[in-house]
């Protein structure tokens, strides 16, 4: 009987809960935002909003861009530009396949958030605008707030690497044993599926470690001898090794980075190719 | 027993030796060892009391506002949306993969409406359990009620439960837990064809809450990468998941308490086993936990709540050593890196997702939903974040929301 009561209790709560729909805030609410950190290719900022159910968006305009003259737009015009682009994109995507998510789901945030934008251009002027959005019609609600910032340049590193497969060992030999660098490898298929390019993979993984304040634990100095035989690799799959100098002071990867492709086949590791890749924009 | 009608009981697998007369059924790779039927609702309109709800494992169970609504009316509401009331429960074993990817025999349950067409396969990743008697192949999991709307629900026990209950469960090790779910789906598909209950659509639906929410995302990643042709994904429903284990670790260390004390030893030894890290548990656990975790966790005798009660505290200082709480040092740094690796925020979804989380959730902190939102922004994801109460209450709401949303 006790169990039955528990179940009924759960059902009561559940059904009361299930009758609710997403709360739509359609009137302006108070919000503030501040930039926490600007690095050569990244910016981090925090939005504080008084109503956790209110939707808001942001746009970061490259003021050096030639194709669109963002430099002479007002903050409201930048917000409207963002809204039009998102609507257009959403309509194009939903034409191909119906979306379960609304425009606001796909593009807006709710609640206090620390947000980050990566893959910015170095040594470039930007304008960040934050604004509330009406989730019903995707119009901008209330005042648009904005701030300008400038990304610094990245200094190139002299660190170079030799990447080799020696039997089952991956051998990385840096040109300078005192410089910090990051190395990793991943299946080529996964890299192109989820990260687009080997540099995208390297950038995103390093960015993740930075995010968690853990980058210091994964950087290497000096040569590496890593036994690939312990890693249970997939037979027939190709893998990409990436290595790049990382300057903890700048908090950015250097360029160019080095990569090596290899394949694992019937218990043997075959080198496919080693190359430099200058990823700098 | 009126509540549970046994139409067929093929005692195989674990109890096969006691019933030598019973023939072992082998449908491709899915071996059936028991078939039962069970109703979702009883004759008096009440929910089958055998349905397993998620426990509220909180030691400090908060007061919850119970709405003053007539229970009978509510039950009738549910009954109104139910399709086939009687479900076929088929527990079976299948060929899966161990943490090192070597072959292993695993178990799980397939639940079907007793009759009628099957719309889709629904791959359910189950939430955190402690006792083996709670595992899907032994129970009537709440998620299984979805079968009553015309779906074939597949729920794997994972390594460490069911017929592998003698093994340490690789808790929160995404690759092996997701692989257990996918392997079961691969085994069940030809079996359904064999019994002429093949789904009308090849598309699968993924569904899971809590541990299952995170595993569901890992299953999505695996299906997209490796089985896009065999299992195109129709929709994903994930709720209350620890998608970001490292952020969960950081959050817990910041606040100094955990809403689910048993998850600490489960995660440390689970990820250790899954990643084959060979970590020393002495580094992580305070004496009381160190002395007893093997019995409390690995005997699979106790539920989550019972383990939490035995641990007896939410305070991380009483559960973990100072070294175990310091991610910058030695073995904890190794574990932390493995937690980062076992995050499920490392792929991009190609099918729609419904992502649910209660802002009040202290068992799986809301930071997980925030991280997921930040990572997946721009994709076809409907975010349902709200004030939905504690973790277990969120589970019920989530399951029933999905139940109502599915056609």
Residue B347 falls within a domain, yes or no?
no
Disruptive mutation site among A5, A12, A208 for chain B (greatest number of B CBs within 10 Å): A12
- Count of H helices and E strands in chain B? 12, 12
Instruction: For chain B, give the percent of residues with pLDDT over 90.
Output: 67
- Please give the angle made by the CA atoms of A193, A212 and B374, to the nearest 5 degrees: 55
pLDDT, tens only, A120-175: 999 999 999 999 999 999 999 999 999 999 999 987 788 899 999 999 999 999 99
Please tell me the predicted confidence (pLDDT) of residue B62. 45
Residue B81 falls within a domain, yes or no?
yes
Q: Which residues of A touch B397 (CB under 8 A)?
A: 13-14, 17-18
Q: Which of B75, B250, B393 sits opposite A13 (nearest CB)?
A: B393
Please tell me the predicted confidence (pLDDT) of residue A156. 79
Q: Which of B51, B53, B352 sits opposite A101 (nearest CB)?
A: B352
Residue B2 falls within a domain, yes or no?
no
Nearest C-alpha of chain A: how many angstroms from B102?
Answer: 10
Mean pLDDT of B352-366: 94
Nearest C-alpha of chain A: how many angstroms from B191?
Answer: 28
Domains annotated on chain A, with CATH: 23-150 (2.20.130.20), 161-277 (no CATH)
CB B5 within 8 A of CB B48: no
pLDDT, tens only, B16-63: 333 222 233 444 567 777 777 777 777 777 777 777 777 666 655 443
Joined tokens for residue B42: 């009883």
Q: Which of B100, B224, B401 sits opposite A232 (nearest CB)?
A: B100
Please tell me the predicted confidence (pLDDT) of residue A214. 93
CB B286 within 8 A of CB B318: yes
Asked whether residue B230 falls in the same domain as residue B252, the answer is no
Asked whether residue B26 falls in the same domain as residue B109, the answer is yes
Using alpha carbons, list the distances in angstroms from residue B86 to A67, B5, B91, B116.
63, 10, 16, 11
Determine the Cα–Cα distance for residues A158 and A176; give it in Å rounded to an integer. 9
Residue B3 falls within a domain, yes or no?
no
Between these two residues, B75 and B248, which has the higher pLDDT value? B248
User: What average pLDDT does chain A have?
Assistant: 89
- Count of H helices and E strands in chain A? 5, 15
Asked whether residue B236 falls in the same domain as residue B253, the answer is no
Asked whether residue B264 falls in the same domain as residue B217, the answer is no
Please tell me the predicted confidence (pLDDT) of residue B208. 97
Number of domains in chain B: 2
pLDDT, tens only, B193-227: 989 999 999 999 999 999 999 999 999 999 999 99
Residues facing A169 on adjacent strands: A166, A227
Please tell me the predicted confidence (pLDDT) of residue A21. 57
Between these two residues, A255 and B405, which has the higher pLDDT value? B405
Query: DSSP 3-state assignment of B132?
Result: helix
Residue B4 falls within a domain, yes or no?
no
Please tell me the predicted confidence (pLDDT) of residue B276. 92
Q: Which residue of B has its CA nearest to A216?
A: B328
Q: Which residue of B has its CA nearest to A23?
A: B386
Residues facing A234 on adjacent strands: none
Mean pLDDT of B326-331: 92
Determine the Cα–Cα distance for residues B91 and B32; give it in Å rounded to an integer. 6
Determine the Cα–Cα distance for residues B259 and B264; give it in Å rounded to an integer. 10
Asked whether residue B63 falls in the same domain as residue B183, the answer is yes
Pairing label, strands B152-156, B103-113:
antiparallel
Residue B5 falls within a domain, yes or no?
no
Instruction: For chain A, give the percent of residues with pLDDT over 90.
Output: 72
Asked whether residue B237 falls in the same domain as residue B378, the answer is yes
CA dihedral (B24, B25, B26, B30) positive or negative: negative
Asked whether residue B183 falls in the same domain as residue B54, the answer is yes
Long-range contacts of the stretch B65-74 (C-beta < 8 A, 24+):
B66/A9, B66/A12, B66/A13, B67/A12, B67/A13, B67/A16, B69/A12, B69/A15, B69/A16, B71/A8, B71/A11, B71/A12, B72/B45, B74/A11, B74/A12, B74/A15
SS (H, E, C) A217-273: HCCECCCEEEEHHHHCCCCCCEEEEEEEEEECCCCEECCCEEEEEEEEECCEEEEEE
Determine the Cα–Cα distance for residues A245 and A257; give it in Å rounded to an integer. 7
| Residue B11 pLDDT greater than 60, yes or no | no
Nearest C-alpha of chain B: how many angstroms from A47?
Answer: 13
Q: Which residue's structure tokens are 């003259």?
A: A69
Instruction: Write the CATH number for B163.
Output: 3.40.50.1820
| Residue B78 pLDDT greater than 70, yes or no | no
Asked whether residue B189 falls in the same domain as residue B331, the answer is no
Asked whether residue B191 falls in the same domain as residue B252, the answer is no
Please tell me the predicted confidence (pLDDT) of residue B57. 61
Residue B348 falls within a domain, yes or no?
no
Q: Which residues of B touch A4 (CB under 8 A)?
A: 46, 49
pLDDT, tens only, B110-151: 999 988 999 999 999 999 999 999 999 988 888 888 998 999
Asked whether residue B209 falls in the same domain as residue B253, the answer is no
Of the candidates B313, B336, B311, B314, the residue with the CA atom closest to the CA atom of residue B323: B336
pLDDT, tens only, A3-35: 444 454 455 445 444 444 568 999 999 999 999
Please tell me the predicted confidence (pLDDT) of residue B393. 86
Q: Which of B71, B225, B247 sits opposite A11 (nearest CB)?
A: B71
CB B133 within 8 A of CB B112: no
Q: Which domain holds residue B322?
A: 246-341
Query: DSSP 3-state assignment of B190?
Result: helix
pLDDT, tens only, A227-271: 999 888 889 999 999 999 998 888 888 877 899 999 999 989 999
Asked whether residue B195 falls in the same domain as residue B262, the answer is no
Q: Which of B314, B341, B368 is the last residue of a domain?
A: B341
Q: Which residue's structure tokens are 């899915």?
A: B30
Q: Which residues of B touch A53 (CB under 8 A)?
A: 386
Please tell me the predicted confidence (pLDDT) of residue A4. 46
B4 CB-side CA count, 13 A: 12
* Torsion, CA B285, CA B289, CA B295, CA B299, rounded to 10: -70
Asked whether residue B231 falls in the same domain as residue B274, the answer is no
Q: Which residues of A touch B404 (CB under 8 A)?
A: 18
Residue B73 falls within a domain, yes or no?
yes
User: What average pLDDT does chain B have?
Assistant: 85
Of the candidates B228, B171, B165, B234, the residue with the CA atom closest to the CA atom of residue B204: B234
Q: Which of A10, A53, A99 sits opposite B396 (nearest CB)?
A: A10
């Amino acid at each position: 009987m006790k169990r039955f009561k528990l179940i009924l209790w759960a059902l009561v709560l559940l059904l009361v809960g299930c009758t609710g729909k997403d709360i739509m805030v359609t009137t302006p609410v108070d919000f503030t935002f501040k930039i926490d950190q600007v690095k050569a290719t990244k910016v981090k900022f925090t939005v504080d909003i008084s109503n956790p159910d209110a939707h808001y968006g942001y746009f970061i305009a490259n003021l050096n861009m030639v194709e669109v003259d963002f430099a002479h737009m007002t903050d409201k015009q930048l917000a409207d530009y963002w809204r039009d682009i998102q609507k257009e994109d959403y309509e194009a995507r939903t034409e191909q396949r119906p979306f379960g998510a609304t425009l606001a789901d796909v593009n807006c945030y709710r609640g206090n958030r620390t947000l980050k934008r990566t893959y910015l251009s170095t040594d470039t002027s930007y304008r960040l605008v934050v604004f509330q959005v009406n989730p019903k019609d995707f119009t901008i609600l209330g005042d648009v707030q904005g701030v300008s910032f400038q990304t610094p340049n990245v200094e190139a590193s002299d660190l170079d690497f030799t990447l080799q497969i020696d039997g089952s060992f991956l051998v990385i030999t840096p040109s300078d044993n005192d410089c910090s660098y990051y190395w990793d490898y991943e299946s080529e298929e996964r890299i192109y599926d989820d990260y687009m390019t080997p540099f995208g993979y390297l950038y995103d993984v390093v960015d993740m470690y930075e995010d968690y304040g853990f980058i210091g634990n994964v950087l290497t100095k000096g040569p590496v001898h890593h036994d690939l035989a312990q890693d249970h690799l997939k037979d027939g799959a190709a893998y990409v090794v990436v290595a790049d100098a990382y300057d903890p002071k700048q908090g950015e990867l250097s360029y160019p980075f080095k990569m090596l492709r290899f394949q694992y086949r019937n218990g043997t590791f075959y080198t496919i190719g080693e190359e430099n890749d200058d990823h700098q924009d | 027993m009126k509540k549970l009608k046994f139409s067929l009981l093929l005692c195989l697998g674990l109890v096969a030796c006691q019933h030598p007369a019973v023939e072992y059924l082998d449908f491709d790779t899915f071996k059936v060892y028991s078939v039962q039927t069970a109703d979702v609702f009883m004759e008096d309109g009440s929910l089958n009391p055998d349905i397993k709800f998620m426990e509220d494992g909180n030691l400090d169970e908060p007061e919850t506002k119970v709405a003053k609504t007539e229970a009978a009316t509510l039950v009738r509401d549910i009954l109104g949306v139910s399709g086939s009331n009687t479900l076929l429960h088929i527990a079976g074993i299948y060929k899966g993969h161990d943490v090192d990817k070597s072959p292993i025999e695993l178990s799980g349950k397939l639940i079907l409406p007793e009759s009628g067409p099957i719309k889709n396969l629904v791959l359910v990743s189950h939430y955190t359990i402690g006792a083996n008697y709670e595992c899907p192949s032994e129970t009537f999991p709440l998620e299984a009620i979805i079968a009553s709307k015309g779906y074939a629900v597949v729920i794997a026990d994972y390594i460490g439960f069911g017929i592998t209950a003698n093994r340490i469960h690789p808790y929160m090790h995404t690759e092996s837990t997701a692989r257990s779910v996918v392997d079961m789906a691969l085994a069940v598909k030809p079996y359904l064809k064999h019994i002429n209950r093949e789904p009308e659509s090849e598309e699968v639906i993924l569904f899971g809450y809590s541990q299952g929410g995170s595993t569901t995302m890992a299953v999505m990643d695996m299906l997209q990468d490796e089985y896009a042709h065999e299992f195109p994904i129709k929709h994903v429903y994930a709720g209350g998941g620890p998608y970001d284990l490292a952020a969960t670790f950081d959050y817990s260390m910041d606040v100094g308490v955990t809403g689910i004390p048993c998850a600490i030893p489960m995660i440390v030894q689970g990820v250790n086993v899954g990643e084959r890290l060979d970590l020393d548990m002495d580094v992580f656990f305070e004496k009381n936990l160190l002395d007893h975790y093997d019995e409390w966790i690995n005997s699979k005798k106790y539920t989550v709540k019972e383990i939490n009660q035995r641990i007896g505290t939410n305070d991380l200082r009483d559960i973990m050593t100072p070294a175990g709480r310091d991610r910058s040092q030695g073995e904890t740094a190794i574990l932390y890196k493995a937690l980062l690796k076992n995050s499920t925020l490392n792929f991009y979804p190609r099918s729609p997702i419904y992502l649910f989380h209660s802002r009040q959730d202290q068992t799986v902190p809301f930071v997980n939903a925030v991280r997921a939102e930040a990572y997946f922004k721009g994709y076809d994801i409907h975010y349902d974040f709200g004030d939905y109460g504690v973790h277990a209450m969120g589970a019920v709401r989530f399951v029933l929301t999905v139940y109502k949303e599915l056609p």
